């Protein structure tokens, strides 16, 4: 896993995650990555309404088998006005091979009306300080928080 990855989680490859050839189904992996990226975006943008906007090329370079452990890593690479861009990397912890990389995953924070809303952040938080304390707390146009 690259040194620049700051958010990681692990999965155990189970029978329901396999394709017809008995290796890890790409669709399962993409679903896990999207969910990890969504959680990371929610933490970084402090907005529970963060949606996937764009995913760049996905290069599957190796795979995993039932019983393998895989590790997914994400890092924020750019904070836009309403968006967050991340890089993703997945490795097989058993073989130590890289499974894939995705150079750009873009999430956008939305307001109550489903429109992009400025998040006001320019760098990564390593805490959970941006998370709302209850449902409904949102950033306003000027970047302050309001119910
Ligand atoms: C976690 C999940 O599974 S979410 C489910 C899947 N995702 C969705 O359903 C989202 C569906 N898409 C949408 O609702 C809309 O496209 C929206 C609201 C996200 C964005 O609408 P847009 O009209 O594109 O908004 P807008 O043009 O203002 O762009 C918003 C941001 O996205 C960025 N953006 C827009 N298109 C792209 C693109 N193709 N690639 C990269 N970034 C993009 C913009 O640069 C902007 O970022 P910035 O404010 O940081 O500069």
pLDDT by 10-residue block (mean), the chain, 147 residues: 75 97 96 96 96 96 96 96 97 95 97 97 89 65 53
What is the value of ipTM here, to two decimals? 0.97
What pLDDT does 136 receive?
A: 56
Rounded Cα distance between 124 and 117, Å, is 18
Rounded Cα distance between 6 and 15, Å, is 29
pLDDT in tens, 42-68: 999 999 999 999 999 998 999 999 999
What pLDDT does 129 receive?
A: 86
pTM: 0.90
Rounded Cα distance between 101 and 30, Å, is 11
All structural domains of the chain, each given as residue ranges with its CATH number in brackets, are 4-107 (3.10.129.10)
What pLDDT does 138 receive?
A: 53
Cβ(48) – ligand 1 distance below 6 Å: no
What pLDDT does 8 receive?
A: 86
Distance 141 CA to ligand 1 centre (A): 17
Of the candidates 69, 25, 35, the residue with the CA atom closest to the CA atom of residue 55: 35
Q: Which residue is closest in CA terms to ligand 1's atom 33?
A: 83
- Which atom of ligand 1 is found nearest the CA of 54? 40
Cβ(51) – ligand 1 distance below 6 Å: yes
């Amino acid at each position: 896993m690259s040194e620049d990855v700051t958010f990681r989680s692990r999965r155990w490859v189970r029978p329901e995650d396999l394709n017809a050839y008995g290796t890890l189904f790409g669709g399962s992996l993409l679903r896990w990555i999207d969910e990890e990226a969504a959680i990371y975006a929610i933490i970084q943008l402090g907005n529970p309404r963060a949606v996937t906007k764009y995913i760049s090329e996905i290069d599957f370079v190796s795979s995993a088998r039932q019983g393998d452990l895989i590790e997914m890593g994400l890092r924020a690479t750019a904070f836009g006005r309403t968006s967050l861009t991340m890089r993703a990397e997945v490795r097989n912890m058993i073989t130590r091979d890289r499974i894939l990389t995705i150079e750009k995953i873009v999430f956008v924070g939305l307001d109550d009306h489903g429109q992009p809303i400025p998040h006001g952040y320019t760098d990564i938080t390593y805490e959970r300080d941006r998370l709302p304390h209850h449902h409904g707390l949102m950033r306003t146009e000027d970047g302050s928080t309001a119910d």
